[in-house]
Amino acid sequence: MGTTLRNPQNITPSVNSKGDSTLTADDPGVRGLFSIMAVYYPKGRSFLFPPSGSLFSPERFGIIVGTQLDKNQFENFLGGLQFDFARGGSIALGAHFGRRTFVEGYKNFNYGTDKFYGTLTDKVKQEWNLGFFFGVNIDVKIFNYLFNIQSTNQ
């Protein structure tokens, strides 16, 4: 998934090319994330079976909720819609509600370029905010098949 909710990490003071005080950070822009999702099909289709209708049949559309798949799973929540384009594959979009790090007093701080005045402890804060996400979902079985992952179960 790709999300518009920016969350820069490892923010450190530095000096830009003009000699001004600024900040640098890891991952300051639009970021990607791995997620785990649950889907609900309002038309009652089981996720175990392929859709029986045409390409734009209502049974191909689902409501999804999920979270980021890492140590921050309780700081990133996703909700939206998905469209199944094939068995085991879908396109998803929706809202991303999560905790993010930001520089207080700047709407969109441009790391490495914008002048920074103050100290990290005074100006670098965290808040809960809303963004949007877009992504492609792949069923675990399809993922295993695509990357030829062998099961250890006999």
pLDDT tens track for 109-141:
889 888 898 888 888 999 999 999 999 887 777
- The CA distance from 28 to 109, in Å, is 9
pLDDT tens track for 15-24:
888 888 999 9
- The CA distance from 61 to 42, in Å, is 8
Mean pLDDT of 97-114: 88
pLDDT tens track for 38-90:
888 888 777 677 777 788 888 889 999 999 888 878 899 999 999 988 877 88
Residue boundaries of the structural domains of the chain: 2-146
- Model pTM greater than 0.85? no
- The CA distance from 128 to 140, in Å, is 30
- The CA distance from 101 to 88, in Å, is 34
Count of CA atoms in the C-beta half-sphere (13 A) of 105: 10
Task: Extract the tokens encoding 72.
Answer: 């921050």
Q: Is the pLDDT of residue 94 over 90?
A: yes
- The CA distance from 4 to 76, in Å, is 12
Backbone angles phi, psi at 43, to 5 degrees: -85, 5
